[in-house]
Chains A and B, each alone.
Chain A
Amino acid sequence: CDLRRKLVIVFPAGDSWGIFAFLCAALWNLPAIPALNSTDEVGAGQSIQKTYDLTRYLEHQLRTLASTYLNYLGPPFNEPDFNPPRMTRAEMVPSATVDFELWRSLNDNARLAANYRAYTHLLCYLRSMDGQVAKAELRKNLGHFCTSLQGLVVSIASVMSSLGYPLPSPLGSASPTWAQGPGATSPHNDFLKKMDDFWLLKELQTWLWRSAKDFNRLKKKVPPAALMLRLEMRGF
Chain B
Amino acid sequence: CNYVDVAVSGFPEAPGNWKCITHDLNRMICSWDATSSANRGLTYKICQFRAAAIKTPVSAVAGNDFECMLFFLVSFQALIPLTPQILNLSADFSTYTLYLTWNDSGSVFQHELDASWQIQILYKETMETVTLINYDSKLTGKDSILFWNWTSDIPLECTSYYVKIRCYINELYFTGRKEWSEWSPVRTPNSVMVFPQDKVVLVGSNVTFCCLYNEGKSVKFMKYGSESYPLLRLSKWSSAIKVQNVSASVPSGTNVWCSLVPDDVEGTVLFVGYAPDTPQNLNCETRTFITITCSWNPGRPTALYSKRRTKYILFESPKYMELPLKTTPTSKHACDFPVHANQKIYNFTLSASNPLGQAESSLLIDVNQRVHLETPDKFTVSTNSSTHAHLSWYIPGNFIKIRLLCQIEISNSNSERQLNVSMAGAENSNYRAWVDALHPYGTYTFRVRCSASEYFWKWSKWSEGKKLTTLEAPPARGPDIWRQRSPVGETVTVFWKPLLLSEANGIILSHEVVCYLRERMLKAHEVPVPLNSTEIKLGGNDCLISVIAKNRAGSSPPSRITSVDLPSDNVKTELAIATGNGIYISWHSDPNVTCGYTLKWCISSGSEPCNVDWEMFPSNAIDAVIKSALFQPGVRYNFSLYGCKHNGYQLLQNITGYMKELPPKVAPNFTVEETSSDSILVKWEDIPVEDCQGFLKGYILYFAKGEKGSSKTSFMEEGSPELTVKNITDLTKKSLRILGLQGKTSYRLDLRAYTVGGIGPSKDLYVVTKENSVGLIIAILIPVAVAVVLGVVTSILCYQKREWIKETFYPDIPNPENSKALQFQKNICEGNTALKTLEMNPCTPNSVEVVETRSTVLKIEDTEIISPVADSELPEDGSETGTGSHVVVSYCPPIIEEEISSPPIDEPVGSSQVIYIDIQSMYQPQVNPEEEPEINFVTTAGYKPQMQLPINAMKMESHSPTEEDLDKIAGYRPQANTNVWKLNSPDSPVSIQSNNENGSFGSPCSINSRQFLIPPKDYEDSPTPNNTGWSFTHFFQNKPND
Residues in chain A within 8 A of chain B (CB atoms)? 72-77, 79, 84-85, 87-89, 132, 134-135, 173-175, 177, 180, 184-187, 189-191, 194-195
A174 to B142, CA, bound (A): 7
A85 to B263, CA, bound (A): 7
B198 touches which one: A79, A184, A189 (CB < 8 A)? A189
B267 at the interface (CB under 8 A from A): yes
A186 to B145, CA, bound (A): 12
Can you report 8 A-B residue pairs in the complex whose CB atoms are below 8 A from each other?
A: A75-B255, A84-B263, A85-B263, A87-B190, A185-B88, A185-B99, A189-B268, A190-B253
A89 to B252, CA, bound (A): 21
Residues in chain B within 8 A of chain A (CB atoms)? 87-88, 90, 92, 99, 101, 106-107, 141-145, 147, 149, 190, 194, 197-198, 223, 225-226, 250-257, 263-269, 305-306
Contact A75 B305 (CB under 8 A): no
Name the distance in Å between A172's Cβ and chain B's nearest Cβ. Answer: 8
A86 to B90, CA, bound (A): 16
- Given the complex, which residues of A lie within 8 Å of B194, measured CB to CB? 191
Q: Is the interface of A mostly helix, strand, loop or mixed?
A: loop
- Given the complex, which residues of B lie within 8 Å of A195, measured CB to CB? 265, 267
Name the distance in Å between B112's Cβ and chain A's nearest Cβ. Answer: 14
Contact A134 B305 (CB under 8 A): yes
Name the distance in Å between A129's Cβ and chain B's nearest Cβ. Answer: 11
Contact A191 B267 (CB under 8 A): yes
Contact A89 B90 (CB under 8 A): yes
A187 to B145, CA, bound (A): 15
Contact A74 B253 (CB under 8 A): yes
Contact B269 A191 (CB under 8 A): yes
A185 to B257, CA, bound (A): 23
Contact B88 A173 (CB under 8 A): no
- Identify the closest chain A residue to B91 (Cβ): A186
- Identify the closest chain A residue to B256 (Cβ): A191
- Given the complex, which residues of B lie within 8 Å of A174, measured CB to CB? 107, 143
Contact B252 A72 (CB under 8 A): yes
A100 to B522, CA, bound (A): 117
A77 to B223, CA, bound (A): 12
A88 to B85, CA, bound (A): 14
- Given the complex, which residues of B lie within 8 Å of A185, measured CB to CB? 88, 99, 101, 145, 147
Contact A191 B255 (CB under 8 A): yes
Contact A190 B88 (CB under 8 A): no
- Given the complex, which residues of B lie within 8 Å of A72, measured CB to CB? 250-252
Contact B145 A74 (CB under 8 A): no
Contact A175 B143 (CB under 8 A): yes
- Given the complex, which residues of A lie within 8 Å of B145, measured CB to CB? 177, 180, 184-185
A76 to B250, CA, bound (A): 13
- Given the complex, which residues of B lie within 8 Å of A190, measured CB to CB? 197-198, 253, 268-269
3 interchain residue pairs of minimum CB distance: A134-B305, A186-B99, A173-B142
User: Known contacts A84-B263, A185-B145; can you find 10 more A-B pairs with CB under 8 A?
Assistant: A84-B264, A88-B88, A134-B251, A135-B251, A174-B107, A185-B101, A186-B101, A190-B269, A191-B266, A195-B267
Contact A134 B306 (CB under 8 A): yes
A89 to B190, CA, bound (A): 10
Contact A74 B254 (CB under 8 A): yes
Known: A74-B254, A186-B101. A173 touches B107 (CB 8 A): yes
Contact A186 B88 (CB under 8 A): yes
B223 touches which one: A76, A175, A186, A187 (CB < 8 A)? A76
Contact A85 B255 (CB under 8 A): no
Contact B306 A132 (CB under 8 A): yes
Contact A76 B268 (CB under 8 A): no
- Given the complex, which residues of B lie within 8 Å of A74, measured CB to CB? 225, 250, 252-255
- Given the complex, which residues of A lie within 8 Å of B223, measured CB to CB? 75-76
Which one of A87, A173, A175, A186 has the greatest number of beta carbons of chain B within 10 Å? A186
Contact A191 B305 (CB under 8 A): no
- Identify the closest chain B residue to A193 (Cβ): B269
A181 to B266, CA, bound (A): 23
Name the distance in Å between B707's Cβ and chain A's nearest Cβ. Answer: 82
- Given the complex, which residues of B lie within 8 Å of A186, measured CB to CB? 88, 90, 92, 99, 101, 147, 149
- Identify the closest chain A residue to B263 (Cβ): A85
- Given the complex, which residues of A lie within 8 Å of B90, measured CB to CB? 89, 186
Name the distance in Å between B812's Cβ and chain A's nearest Cβ. Answer: 127
A194 to B198, CA, bound (A): 12
- Identify the closest chain A residue to B308 (Cβ): A134
Known: A89-B88, A185-B88, A185-B101. A73 touches B147 (CB 8 A): no
- Given the complex, which residues of B lie within 8 Å of A73, measured CB to CB? 252, 255
A76 to B227, CA, bound (A): 10
Name the distance in Å between A123's Cβ and chain B's nearest Cβ. Answer: 21
Name the distance in Å between B997's Cβ and chain A's nearest Cβ. Answer: 105
Name the distance in Å between B87's Cβ and chain A's nearest Cβ. Answer: 7
Name the distance in Å between A63's Cβ and chain B's nearest Cβ. Answer: 20
Name the distance in Å between A61's Cβ and chain B's nearest Cβ. Answer: 21
Known: A89-B88, A177-B145. A75 touches B269 (CB 8 A): no
Name the distance in Å between B380's Cβ and chain A's nearest Cβ. Answer: 35
- Identify the closest chain B residue to A88 (Cβ): B88
- Given the complex, which residues of A lie within 8 Å of B141, measured CB to CB? 173
- Identify the closest chain A residue to B265 (Cβ): A84
- Identify the closest chain B residue to A180 (Cβ): B145
